[in-house]
Amino acid sequence: MRLTLLFDGDDTLWANNHHFEVAIERFTALVVGGQWTEAAVRDELDRVEEAAFHQGGAGKDAFGRNMREAAAGIVAAGRLPAVLEAVDGIVRDMGTTEVALMAGVVSTLEELGGRHVLGIVTRGDPAEQWAKIDGSGISEQFTHIEVVRDKDEATYRRLVAGWRLDPATTWMIGNSPRSDILPARAAGMYAVFIPNAHTWELELTELPHDDGILHLTALTELTNHF
């Protein structure tokens, strides 16, 4: 059966979140001190990011705004201007448009593309995401490509309608339970979960026992199932 296989971009097709982890380490070193332990700083940044998850978009600029807000609640007012300037420097240094494909991506897509329709559904800043898509060298493998502001059930239903897909023959493939797997299932699609050790903490949540979710350990295993 000819299927439609939709792929997440960040940390599924190419590495991404490690840029943010490096930035968090630098931010933590910048603001830590007194009652603000490393764990407390990370908790505060997570709190700010969770509050902005569906409002502030994604990408390094949104992340920079979140770091600035977290810093304002951590450091003394007199030190804040210098800290905010340093935060802006951390954001500028983030190489979020660099593309390092995950192992086996090219050969896997070439094989799957001979049997199925392929697409990309990736969340983030449009300029950053399109720079990665264009620089990946794999964009010609995909019939459907869209950068979305949010990955929720409504988004997936909109894409199904817009691309005239049959949810019963469509699979969403990604590393983020919260954005790739659960909302796609809610929209009637099937899903493939491929965990990544560098997945953003806020994207992690427990997955139900669901016959519609295939669990793999590597993207290259897709060719054994599709």
Which of the pair, 201 or 67, is modelled with greater confidence? 67
- Give mean pLDDT, residues 186-212: 92
Tell me, yes or no, whether 182 and 197 share the same domain: yes
Output the pLDDT for position 61: 84
Q: Are residues 66 and 123 in the same domain?
A: no
Give the end of a domain, one of 93, 122, 144: 93
CATH code of the domain in which 124 resides: 3.40.50.1000
Query: What pLDDT is stored for residue 25 in this prediction?
Result: 92
Same domain, 181 and 114: yes
How large a percentage of the chain has pLDDT more than 70?
97
What letters, b where the CB count within 10 A reaches 16 and e where it falls short, cover 32-69? Answer: beeebeeeebbebbbebbeebbeebbbbbbbbbbbbbb
Same domain, 190 and 220: yes
Q: What is the pLDDT of residue 152?
A: 93
One domain, residues 60 and 78: yes
> Is residue 126 located within the same domain as residue 60?
no
- Out of 93, 125, 154, a domain closes at 93
Q: Which domain holds residue 210?
A: 4-15+98-224
149, 168 contact by CB (below 8 A): no
Residue type, 94: M
How confident is the model over 6-33, as a mean pLDDT?
Answer: 92
Q: Specify the number of domains making up the chain.
A: 2
pLDDT at residue number 204? 86
> Does one domain contain both 127 and 67?
no
Q: Mean pLDDT check: name the lowest of 13-17, 25-29, 198-202.
A: 198-202
CB 117 within 8 A of CB 142: no
Strands (E), the chain: 4-7, 117-123, 144-148, 170-174, 190-193, 213-215
pLDDT digits (tens, 9 = 90+) for 169-186: 999 999 999 999 999 999
Q: Are 163 and 71 members of one domain?
A: no
Does the pLDDT value for residue 56 go beyond 70? no
Does 217 share its domain with 115?
A: yes
Instruction: Read off the pLDDT of each residue in 203-214 and give the average, rounded to a whole number.
Output: 92
Residue 172 has what pLDDT? 98
User: What pLDDT digit, counting tens, does each position of 108-164 carry?
Assistant: 999 999 999 999 999 988 988 999 999 999 999 999 999 998 899 999 999 999 999
Residues 60 and 88 in one domain: yes
- Tell me what the mean pLDDT of segment 36-48 comes to: 93
Q: How far is CA 148 from CA 59, 98, 143, in A?
A: 12, 19, 16
Q: Quick check: 210 and 185 in contact, CB under 8 A? A: yes
Do 184 and 137 share a domain, yes or no?
yes
pLDDT at 19: 85
pLDDT of residue 150: 87
pTM above 0.95, yes or no: no
Q: How confident is the model at residue 57 (pLDDT cuts 50, 70, 90)?
A: low
Q: Are residues 28 and 106 in the same domain?
A: no
Confidence of residue 96 (pLDDT cuts 50, 70, 90): low
